[in-house]
A = this chain, B = another copy of it.
């Protein structure tokens, strides 16, 4: 671990020499662990469903749970989280139910977003989880808006926006960080540097020394953290959120982590990277490490772990069974939610579709 990269627990789950463990009660530690494990098990299960053709697509986060969940844990419930497609873990931690998540994967009649988007593109206004979209980086400028809206109306909310290493190459990353700098927007820019953007490695993404150093271009804080160390991620994010809340401006956090799996269910990473590289990073797995820490600290045991695994398995099973039973949303949902009210041309198109469906063709 380099001097400049924040870290608290090492790969064996031991507290690093000189590191201070943040004060987090046992229940919260277990809550963190549970969310991470849930994320992992959900991913495994859903990728299987995808291979079986029961859902069309899936985005996993294996290896990145520490970064995703540690950072979300540092935020208050009133703070908006602005995710990209890989942050289901953050949503779970916040209370987004497995039922809602699974219904969205199936795009069924109970899907809260009404079958409108691909799997893993959820949203929850209630939980202050912004809507996931696929375009890389396009969510980043929204963070300034979420944050400044709060600031201008005297609410002490912070917006945390997630994105990958690849996203830093887009113009949207730049305009967002630059604007945040100028207004000291209450924003945390959270870059999951998982080393890859599909098949493109970080060296082809940028020649800058680190991703964190890009903060210099914007006069905001920049910090690198071991992204596989959930406590360190929590710590730096909490500090960044605190600064933002106090009006001291934005921070760009680079969480150094690794995408252990394929980019998405559509990808096959064996075509472009070595198994050796993956193996090296699997040894740094954030969940294994955190489990060792919890056991080491006397908070957790093998027995408890087994029980938890059983619970999670059960929960996931139940959600999938229920979701799979449901049919698609009603046909008219295709035409709803375009505008607050359906204008004439959409009413006409809906009628046209209904007529076609009714017409006795064949």
Contacts of A205 in B (CB 8 A): 182
Considering the chains assembled together, what is the distance between the CA atoms of A175 and B175 in angstroms? Answer: 11
Q: In the bound complex, do residue B169 and residue A178 qualify as a contact, i.e. CB atoms below 8 Å apart?
A: yes
A171 and chain B: residue at smallest CB distance: B171
**In the complex, which residue of chain B has the Cβ closest to the Cβ of A180?**
B207
Given the known interface contacts A207-B219, A213-B216, A217-B213, the answer about A175 and B182 at a Cβ–Cβ threshold of 8 Å is no
Complex Cα spacing A213 to B222, Å? 14
A208 touches B216 (CB 8 A): yes
Flag if B171 contacts A172 (CB, 8 Å): yes
Q: Does A284 contact B (CB under 8 A)?
A: no
A137 (CB) vs chain B CBs: closest residue:
B171
Does A48 touch B at the CB level, under 8 Å? no
Which of A172, A207, A209: most chain B Cβ within 10 A?
A207
The answer to whether B214 and A207 touch across the interface, beta carbons within 8 angstroms, is no
Confirm or deny: A206 has a beta carbon within 8 angstroms of a beta carbon on chain B.
Answer: yes
- Encoded as 1 (CB less than 8 Å from any B CB) or 0, chain A from 201 to 233 comes to 001111111000110111110000000000000
Q: Which residues from B are CB-within-8-Å of A172?
A: 171
A181-B207 contact given A216-B217, A217-B216, CB 8 Å threshold: yes
Contact B182 A171 (CB under 8 A): no
Contact A170 B175 (CB under 8 A): yes
Kindly state whether residue A173 has any CB partner on chain B within 8 Å.
yes
Within the assembled complex, what's the spacing in Å between the Cα atoms of A182 and B206?
5
Q: What 0/1 pattern do residues 138 to 175 of A give for CB contact below 8 A with B?
A: 00000000000000000000000000000001111111
- Tell me, in angstroms, the Cα distance from A207 to B221 when the chains sit together: 11
Contact of A218 among B181, B208, B218 (CB under 8 A): B208
B residues near A182, Cβ cutoff 8 Å: 203-207
Using CB atoms, name the residue of chain B closest to A206: B178
Q: Which residues in B have their C-beta under 8 angstroms from that of A181?
A: 206-208
Given A169-B175, A169-B178, A175-B170, A216 and B206 contact (CB-CB distance below 8 Å): no
Give, as a whole number of angstroms, the nearest-CB distance from A270 to chain B.
25
Top-9 shortest CB links A-B? A171-B171, A207-B219, A181-B207, A174-B174, A214-B217, A217-B217, A208-B219, A216-B216, A208-B217
Contacts A209-B219, A213-B216 given; 18 further ones with Cβ under 8 A? A169-B175, A170-B171, A171-B171, A171-B172, A171-B174, A171-B175, A174-B174, A174-B175, A181-B206, A181-B208, A182-B203, A206-B218, A207-B219, A207-B220, A208-B217, A208-B219, A209-B216, A217-B217
Interface residues of A (CB under 8 A from B): 169-175, 178-179, 181-182, 184, 203-209, 213-214, 216-220, 249
